[in-house]
């Protein structure tokens, strides 16, 4: 199976694993880019490697309908977490009646533990800009806004430099490639909390307004930025587009199960020997991803995998056989989310982990809807009571009923996803819950004032 190269390094998977520590350091991502000595804003080098070929074809040789059709054939699904088919969004945006449309590149990575979007800005800015420009051509937009975290100063500088270079060469700006079409790009640094990652909040942030999520529909594709049709995709989605339009087989349809196409960036951390980021073909077995990161050093063993970020599912070691792709993760009670896998070994208490994650999610809830605002807090309290050895009645039944009520009444996806950590414990780790509730024992020896299980060696 071939892979594309989303971060524009000369290496191919599995050599693309980048150290998490280096990547988040001042020079980490640049250092990673610099592994090849390549300057990511060197336009001549990028063009020699094929940059803007797809945009040129899209403008000169294709109709908007043909571009969207190519996307539909590729089966590309959004990389922002939920995996919605991209071509459906493009079609809806193109068909919406309006005098103006916007493209928003979502590079405000809300999850505190991930960094893939930043690396794309720093290492592959032309592919990102080209993907967004192709989208602008397809839906009839002339404005691209790249929403990015304020603190990513290096990424912002790299991107702004790349925009200047591309404008000077006629790939962006006024009269792109002599077509009479204008494509202006603005970088919008934003600062805020986790909820700013939700797309309707992000759009308000770009407009300079405070915000809470809006009920959808109407979707941003018909009523988005300044009330105009707006196409919002994660940066990782846009960076794939040029390869698809240029007919690069690695970016479009690959072998694999139905609806499993292309590659994704995955960030792996926790108890593995070499935490970092890798580009993998969708559908790669989770165990292979863990092995790429060096596995869990002996004498420790994989106890669980947190898949999908703070609102992800906690899966058992058997999930290592599972393919890393949208449907399989959903069926298992996890999701792709921000593209992270945290490997947990036997030294950690899963009830403690799930409770802390639920508390984080409750703290991040914007408070607009009561089941989320109050329900998540109550859910976190159930987890805390179990950890503290103070269960009240049938906590498992209470937890399960409350989670079902929260999911049923959701306004935005935060509510539904945030129940996953504790609900997945009920599904996969009933023994660990029972140890706390029935036997007042924490198998990992983390929860106090519980007894430590004699079966576990804590080192």
Ligand X SMILES: Cc1cc2nc3c(=O)[nH]c(=O)nc-3n(C[C@H](O)[C@H](O)[C@H](O)COP(=O)(O)O)c2cc1C
Out of 59, 292, 372, 403, point to the residue binding ligand SF4 (CB under 6 A): 372
Stretch that binds ligand SF4, among 38-46, 114-122, 129-137, 412-420 (CB under 6 A): 412-420
By CB under 6 A, the residues from 189 to 228 that bind ligand X are 195, 197-199
Q: Given the complex with ligand SF4, which of 165 and 415 has the nearer CB atom?
A: 415
| Binding-residue total with ligand X (CB under 6 A) | 21
Out of 367, 392, 408, 448, point to the residue binding ligand SF4 (CB under 6 A): 367
Q: What are the residues facing 78 on neighbouring strands?
A: none
Check: CB of residue 378 under 8 Å from CB of residue 333.
no
Query: Could you give the CA distance from residue 110 to residue 317 in angstroms, rounded to a whole number?
Result: 27
Q: Given the complex with ligand X, which of 147 and 296 has the nearer CB atom?
A: 147
Nearest to 172 by CA among 148, 188, 46, 163: 163
Q: Which does 234 bind (CB under 5 to 8 A by kind): ligand X, ligand SF4, none?
A: ligand X
Q: Given the complex with ligand SF4, which of 247 and 367 has the nearer CB atom?
A: 367
212 is an interface residue for ligand SF4 by CB under 6 A: yes
Q: Which does 199 bind (CB under 5 to 8 A by kind): ligand SF4, ligand X, none?
A: ligand X
Out of 81, 125, 197, 213, point to the residue binding ligand SF4 (CB under 6 A): 213
Q: Which does 367 bind (CB under 5 to 8 A by kind): ligand X, ligand SF4, none?
A: ligand SF4
Q: Given the complex with ligand X, which of 385 and 410 has the nearer CB atom?
A: 410
Q: Which does 110 bind (CB under 5 to 8 A by kind): ligand X, ligand SF4, none?
A: ligand X
Out of 107, 246, 412, 423, point to the residue binding ligand SF4 (CB under 6 A): 412
Out of 181, 347, 378, 410, point to the residue binding ligand SF4 (CB under 6 A): 410
Out of 110, 241, 344, 396, point to the residue binding ligand X (CB under 6 A): 110
Out of 28, 40, 75, 80, point to the residue binding ligand X (CB under 6 A): 80
Q: Which does 82 bind (CB under 5 to 8 A by kind): ligand SF4, ligand X, none?
A: ligand X
Check: CB of residue 314 under 8 Å from CB of residue 428.
yes
229 is an interface residue for ligand X by CB under 6 A: no
Stretch that binds ligand X, among 10-18, 142-150, 381-389, 412-420 (CB under 6 A): 412-420
In order of 44, 238, 408, 432, the CA distances from 333 in angstroms are 46, 27, 16, 18
421 is an interface residue for ligand X by CB under 6 A: no
Stretch that binds ligand X, among 47-55, 144-152, 262-270, 406-414 (CB under 6 A): 406-414
Instruction: At 191, give phi and psi (nearest 5°).
Output: -135, 130
330 is an interface residue for ligand X by CB under 6 A: no
The residues of the shown chain that bind ligand X, judged by CB under 6 A, are 78-82, 84, 106, 109-111, 195, 197-199, 232-234, 237, 412-414
Site for ligand SF4, rule CB under 6 A? 195, 212-213, 365-369, 372-373, 410-412, 414-415
């Amino acid at each position: 199976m071939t892979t594309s190269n989303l971060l524009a390094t000369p290496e191919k998977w599995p050599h693309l694993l980048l150290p998490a520590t280096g990547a988040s350091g001042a020079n980490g991502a640049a250092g990673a880019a610099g592994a090849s000595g390549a300057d990511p804003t060197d336009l001549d080098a990028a063009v020699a490697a094929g940059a803007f070929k797809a945009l040129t074809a899209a403008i000169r040789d294709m109709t908007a309908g043909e571009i969207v059709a190519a996307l539909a054939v590729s089966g590309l699904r959004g990389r922002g977490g939920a995996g919605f088919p991209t071509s459906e969004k493009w079609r809806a945006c193109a068909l919406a009646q309006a005098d103006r449309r916007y493209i928003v590149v979502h590079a405000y990575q809300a999850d505190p533990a991930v960094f893939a979007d930043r690396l794309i800005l720093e290492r592959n800015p032309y592919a990102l800009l080209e993907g967004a420009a192709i989208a602008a051509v397809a839906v009839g937009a002339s404005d691209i806004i790249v929403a990015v975290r304020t603190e990513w100063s290096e990424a912002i500088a790299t991107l702004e430099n790349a925009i200047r270079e591309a404008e000077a060469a006629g790939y962006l700006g006024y009269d792109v490639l002599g077509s009479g079409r204008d494509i202006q790009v603005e970088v919008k640094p934003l600062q805020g909390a986790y909820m700013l990652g939700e797309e309707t909040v992000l759009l308000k942030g770009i407009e300079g307004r405070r915000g809470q999520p809006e009920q959808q529909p109407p979707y941003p594709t018909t009523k988005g930025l300044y009330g105009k049709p707006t196409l919002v995709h994660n940066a990782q989605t846009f960076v794939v587009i040029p390869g698809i339009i240029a007919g690069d087989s690695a970016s479009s349809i690959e072998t694999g199960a139905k609806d499993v196409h292309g590659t994704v960036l995955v960030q792996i951390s926790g108890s593995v020997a070499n935490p970092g980021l890798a580009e993998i073909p969708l559908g790669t077995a989770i165990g292979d991803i863990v092995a790429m990161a060096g596995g869990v050093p002996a004498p420790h063993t994989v106890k669980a995998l947190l898949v999908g970020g703070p609102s992800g599912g906690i899966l058992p070691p058997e999930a290592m056989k599972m393919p890393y792709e949208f449907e399989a993760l959903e069926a298992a009670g996890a999701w792709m989310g921000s593209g992270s896998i945290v490997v947990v070994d036997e030294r950690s208490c899963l009830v403690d982990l799930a409770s802390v994650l639920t508390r984080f999610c409750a703290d991040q809830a914007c408070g607009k809807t009561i089941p989320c605002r109050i329900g998540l807090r109550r859910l976190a309290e159930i987890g805390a009571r179990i950890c503290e050895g103070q269960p009240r009645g049938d906590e498992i039944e209470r937890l399960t009923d409350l989670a079902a009520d929260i999911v049923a009444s959701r306004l935005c996806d935060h509510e539904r996803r945030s129940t996953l950590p504790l609900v997945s414990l009920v599904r996969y780790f009933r023994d660990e819950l029972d140890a706390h509730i029935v036997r007042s024992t924490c198998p990992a020896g983390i929860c106090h004032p519980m007894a430590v299980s004699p079966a576990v060696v804590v080192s």
